[in-house]
Structure 1
Amino acid sequence: MPQILVDADACPVKDEAITVAERHGLVVIFVSNGGLRPSRDPMIRNVVVSKGADAADDWIVENALPNDIAVTADVPLAARLVPAGVHVIGPTGRPFTPESIGMAVAMRDLKQHLRETGEDRGFNRSFAARDRSEFLSALDRTVRRALNAGGQS
C-alpha cells in the first residue's frame, strides 16, 4: 500500500491529507522540524527531524518508496522524488511529474534569480479556498492512481 508523506513545515493542507488518507485507508506521515500536533490515530505518524536546512527533505527522500505519494511545495524536493517513482503534488493540487518537473525547477531557479537581482520582490499569492478544493481533488486522483498502479483497489 502506498503511504502519503507530507513535508509538514508550513503545509496548509494537513487536515485535507488526513481526510483523503482516511478515505482510502492509507498511512499519512507528517515530517517536520517540530511543532506537530500529536495524534492517537495509528494511521497518522509524526516524524520530527533535526533543525537542519534540508533534514525533513532528506528524511522523505530516504524513506519514500516508488508509488508512495508526497505532498510538498518544495520544487527541489519534488525533483528528488519524481525520478524515484514517487507521486508528488503541491498544496494547490499541482502535480509534479516526469514531464513537468524540469520546467518547475527552471521556473523556480528563474524566480530565485529575479528576486536576488531585485527584479522581483517575491510576493506569492495567498492560499485560497479554491486551492484547498483543488488539492483535495488532486490528492484523491493521485491516491487512486497509486492504488491502481500497485494492483490495489
Structure 2
Amino acid sequence: MILIDADACPVKTEITEVAIRRNIQAIFVAGSYLRVADHPLIRFFAAGDAFDAADDAIAEVARPGTVTITADILLAQRVIEKGGAALDPRGREFTPASIGDVVATRDLMHELRPGLEGQTGGQGGGPKPYAKADRANFKNALDRVLTRIARG
C-alpha cells in the first residue's frame, strides 16, 4: 500500500500511474477533499482540519510493507519507527540509518532561521522548483522501494 501526505504533494499523477501499473492500492490523505483518479486502486481519505490530522491518520496505518510519500520529515520519522518505508517527492528515501541526521538537520535549520518578532522559522527560500528530472527520479525511487518490499 502507498500512503500519500497529499495536501502539497507535487507527484500525485506519478504515484497514481505507478500504483495502477503495479496493482497496488494508493490512499491519498489530506485535511479536506482532494480529487483523485477514478480507479478502484486509488482512494482518498479526508483526515479533517485538526493540526497534523493527515499525519496522524497516515502514522496510524503505517506498518512494514507500506510506503509513505511525504515531504514532512517528522511524519517520515513516525512511519519509519513503525517499520514502513518513506520517500520524499523528489525520490529521497528516508531510512532508519538516515532519519536521525535528517531530523537533527531540520531542527537545526529551524533554529537558525530568523523569524518575525524573535520567533524562529519565519524566513527561508524554500525548496528549489520542481523539475521534470525530479519526477523521473521520484518514479524510479518509488519503483525501487516497491520492488524491494515485494521481494521481502
Same fold (TM over 0.5): yes
Could you give the per-residue CA deviations for residues 2-55 of structure 1, whole angstroms, max 9, x where no partner exists? x00000011000110111111110000000012411443111010001101100
Contact 2:63 2:79 in 1 (8 A): no
Rounded to whole Å, the distance in 1 between the matches of 2:36 and 2:12 is 13
Higher relative contact order (CA 8 A, sep 6+): 1
CA RMSD, 1 decimal: 1.6
Which 5+ residue runs of structure 1 have no aligned equivalent? Answer: none
Match of 2:49 in 1: 51
Deviating beyond 2 angstroms after TM superposition, the runs of 4 or more aligned structure 1 residues are 116-121
Q: Is the 8 A contact 2:91 2:138 kept in 1?
A: yes
Structure 1 SS opposite 2:60 = helix
**Greater mean deviation of Cα atoms: 36-45 or 75-84:** 36-45
Query: What's the counterpart of residue 121 of structure 1?
Result: 123
1:147 pairs, out of 122, 140, 150, with 150
State, as a whole percentage, how many aligned pairs show the same letter: 44
| Cα displacement (A) at 1:120 | 8.6
Aligned residues: 147
- Return the offset for 1:127: 1.5
Name structure 2 gaps, 5 residues minimum.
Answer: none
Please show how residues 54-133 of structure 1 align to structure 2 within 5 Å: 54-116=52-114, 121-124=123-126, 125-133=128-136
What is the aligned partner in structure 1 of residue 15 from structure 2? 17
